[in-house]
Amino acid sequence: MGIKEKIISLGSKFQTDDIAKSYPLDYCIPVYHAVSDGPLPHLRNIIQYKTQKEFEKDLDILSRNFQFVSWDEFKDFHNGYFKPKKKIALLTFDDGLVEFHDVVVPILERKGIYAVNFINPAFIGNQDLMFRCKASLLIERVAQMDKNTLTTIPGIELTHDIKKLLISKIQAFTYDDRFILDRIASHFKFSFTDFLIDYRPYMTLDQLHSVVSKGFGISNHGFDHPLYNTLEPAEQIQNTVAGHEFLTKHFNVESFAFPFTDYGVKKEFFDEIYKKEDLFCTFGSAGLKLDSVKKNLQRIPMENGKDAAQILKEEIAYFKLKKLLNKNTIHRK
């Protein structure tokens, strides 16, 4: 645990159990990816996804402190037309993973909670696999392989740290390196195509329509899940518009959530995207923060091995600390 994490953890111990009272904003936007009681090899090396029991515990904690709202209620609240009984919470999911359809939706239907899932059209129907998921699968493959086999990879020598070395290299691959992952998989005699056929990790278009028919939301997450601060401004716009145009053929799309993070994205992107698309708002995932772009709202990542109460207490503690330093607002240039 680093110094920053230690300070935040210590600060959280001084937070009251009445989270709603100490929570500094009038809205809370948690974000998840998947919920599963079983192993998900394409996720478990990159996301600490929660079990059904852990997820339901989070929902109960959030429900005690916030009023869950639908998308229309969320819009009306920000437009001043909806007066909730408590501070509100909008539940969000990313990436269109099939566990949303199979596991999450039944839980939310039972509890009467709405959620919106932000989708990458490139992966609908299991046409392809997001590059970080490919990395997770290759890490699984490395863990299973014999060291002598791994030495056949160029640049890798037989040492006692060979697996650790190779895993670190795989973890470091970026969106621009995604095709290298395909070549490594071929070298390992591992097929991402076969995995997509066997596991079906993403929702199909029919499943997405089923989700919408049950009252849940679908919106834009970029076309193929790039890290936006590594793209040129024109590429950022292109990826966003491509995702929006595909999804609006099938769904009512009024928002956009950045894949990974909106860190480093400049004001010009927001100025341009709001000219091009009819968006109510955009979402980052920087935790409990304000943003100089008022229509860009920050979400709280919920998959870090802690329950919702601890996560929120730490977010509140960090927000208060940043406020003292006048650094709890993201300023776009």
pLDDT at 143: 87
Write out the chain's pLDDT in tens, 333 residues. Answer: 676 777 677 667 767 789 999 999 999 999 999 999 999 999 999 999 999 999 999 999 999 999 999 999 999 999 999 999 999 999 999 999 999 999 999 999 999 999 999 999 999 999 999 999 999 999 999 988 876 666 555 555 555 577 888 899 899 999 999 999 999 999 888 999 999 999 999 999 999 999 999 999 999 999 999 999 999 999 999 999 999 999 999 999 999 999 999 999 999 999 999 998 889 999 999 999 999 999 999 999 999 999 999 999 999 999 999 999 999 999 999
Residue 161 has a pLDDT of 75
| Confidence at residue 198, expressed as pLDDT on a 0 to 100 scale | 97
Distance, C-alpha 226 to centroid of its chain: 12
Does residue 88 contact residue 74 with C-beta atoms inside 8 Å?
yes
56 CA to centre of own chain: 18
> In 3D, which of 330, 331, 298 has the Cα closest to residue 315?
298
CATH fold of the domain at 3-126+202-330 = TIM Barrel (3.20.20)
In this prediction, residue 135 carries a pLDDT of 97
Q: Tokens 């304000």 identify what position?
A: 290
Distance of CA 88 to the CA centre of its chain: 20
CA 92/CA 207 separation, integer angstroms: 17
Contact 240, 255 (CB under 8 A): no
CA distances from 94 to 4, 61, 116, 178, 256 (A): 27, 21, 8, 20, 11
Amino acid at 40: L
Q: With b meaning 16 or more CB within 10 Å and e meaning fewer, what string describes 290-318? A: bbebeebbbbbbbbeebebbebbbbbbbb
d(CA 126, CA 24) in angstroms, rounded, equals 40
Residue-by-residue DSSP string for 84-128: -SS-EE-EEEETTBHHIIIIIHHHHHHHT--EEEEE-GGGGGGS-
